[in-house]
Amino acid sequence: MYKLTDYNLAELKLSGLDAGILSALRAKTSEKPMRRKAFEEMLDRAGNKELMPNERKLILKITRLSLLRLERFIPHRGAREWVDALIYAGIIALTVRFFIFAPFKIPSESMYPTIKSGDHIFATKFSYGIPVPFTDIKLFRREVNRGDIVIFPFPLGTDDYIKRVVARGGDTLHFKDGGVFINGKQASEEGTTVFCESGMRGKWAKNGFRPPCPEPLTIPEGYLFVMGDNRRNSEDSRFWGFVKESTVIGRGWLIFFSHDPAQGLFSGYRLERFASVLK
């Protein structure tokens, strides 16, 4: 949309526009905002002299209205363009943050060696559907798969956790013979018997959660059983139970930065991990 104002005319005068054209345009300052085609037709009717291409371009540049109509509050075009750019940059950043990618910093070694403490990752927010901000609702929802690395709010707190999905709703999970069995098939040979000791089973029972040992456990529909890749150093579903599938924030995708937190500002950058896709 375009509109002539006295402030525009002052800018055009400072830009060196012909005095005759300015005089012809001055009578049009009361016109309402117009679309480009109508505005250019008005320019053609504004005077006897045909506008040169550079003159037409200058007038269009200075009279074009902000989509947010910031002219009502910021008459200076230069300042208005800066504010315009900042607002749109913020809108784009928020859109990306809420719907496409979200950054996370990893503070622990619970997902080692896949993810290390000090890794910064991007998670895809759209992998399981289009999220509705500030809710657990997702449009065009897609299922979380076994083996996915997922980010979710800690069920017993406010922090976000990252773990790997071991079993999903309807799966039968069993820890036995030092391995993890899903629906009767061994999924991992990494030692898990330590988590089935009597003391740990007592802790599970205290939290109202029966562990998948010594008997198999069927995961309730709509829930996930998650574990860290660092099985002997991860607080996960073995300690506090299931994750509600609808609360999953996104899927871990890419390490975009990595720095060993034990190192100083000028060392400890793990360049080989930059741009590593998570699997």
Name the percent of the chain lying above pLDDT 90: 41
The pLDDT value recorded for residue 194 is 63
The pLDDT value recorded for residue 189 is 64
Residue 165's pLDDT band (cuts 50, 70, 90): very high
Checking if the pLDDT of 254 tops 90, the result is yes
Domain count, the chain: 2
How many C-beta atoms lie closer than 10 Å to residue 52's C-beta? 11
Q: How far apart are CA 252 and CA 264, in angstroms?
A: 27
The pLDDT value recorded for residue 120 is 97
Which of 58, 93, 128 is the endpoint of a domain?
93
Answer whether 149's CB lies under 8 Å from 162's CB: yes
Checking if the pLDDT of 255 tops 60, the result is yes
65 lies in the same domain as 113: no
Among the listed residues 165, 179, 181, 173, the one whose alpha carbon sits nearest the alpha carbon of residue 226: 165
222 lies in the same domain as 141: yes
Decide if 22 is inside a domain. Answer: yes
Decide if 100 is inside a domain. Answer: no
The pLDDT value recorded for residue 114 is 95
The pLDDT value recorded for residue 200 is 67
Residue 214's pLDDT band (cuts 50, 70, 90): confident
The pLDDT value recorded for residue 135 is 83
Q: What are φ and ψ of residue 196, in 5° steps?
A: -110, 15
124 lies in the same domain as 245: yes
Domain of residue 167, CATH code: 2.10.109.10
Checking if the pLDDT of 215 tops 90, the result is no
83 lies in the same domain as 112: no
The pLDDT value recorded for residue 193 is 58
85 lies in the same domain as 117: no
Decide if 171 is inside a domain. Answer: yes
Domain limits for position 126: 106-277
Average pLDDT, the chain: 86
Which ranges of 102-215 would DSSP assign to H, the alpha helix? 198-206
The pLDDT value recorded for residue 40 is 86
Decide if 122 is inside a domain. Answer: yes
Q: How far apart are CA 111 and CA 190, in angstroms?
A: 14
- Residues with Cβ within 8 Å of 116's Cβ and at least 6 positions away in sequence, in order, are 106, 109, 258, 260, 270, 273
Decide if 65 is inside a domain. Answer: yes
132 lies in the same domain as 155: yes
Checking if the pLDDT of 191 tops 70, the result is no
18 lies in the same domain as 110: no
Comparison of pLDDT for 50 and 162, the residue scoring more: 162
Which of 66, 93, 120 is the endpoint of a domain?
93
Decide if 134 is inside a domain. Answer: yes
Residue 48's pLDDT band (cuts 50, 70, 90): low
Q: What are φ and ψ of residue 239, in 5° steps?
A: -105, -40
Which of 93, 126, 142 is the endpoint of a domain?
93
Decide if 101 is inside a domain. Answer: no
DSSP codes, the chain? -B---HHHHHHHHHTT--HHHHHHHHTTTTPPPB-HHHHHHHHHHS-SSPPPHHHHHHHHHHHBPPTT-GGGT---HHHHHHHHHHHHHHHHHHHIIIIIEEEEE--SSTTTTTS-TTEEEEEESSTTSEEPTTSS-EET--PPPTT-EEEEE-TTSSSEEEEEEEEETT-EEEEETTEEEETTEEEE-S--GGGGSHHHHHHHHHTT---SSSS-EEPPTTEEEEE-SSTTS--SHHHH--EEGGG--EEEEEEEEEB-TTS-TTS-B-GGGTTEEP-
134 lies in the same domain as 155: yes
Mean per-residue pLDDT for 5-18? Answer: 85
Which H or E element spans position 9? helix 6-14
Residue 82's pLDDT band (cuts 50, 70, 90): confident
Query: Residue 169 burial by CB count (10 A; 0-12/13-18/19+): exposed, middle or buried?
Result: middle
Checking if the pLDDT of 235 tops 80, the result is yes
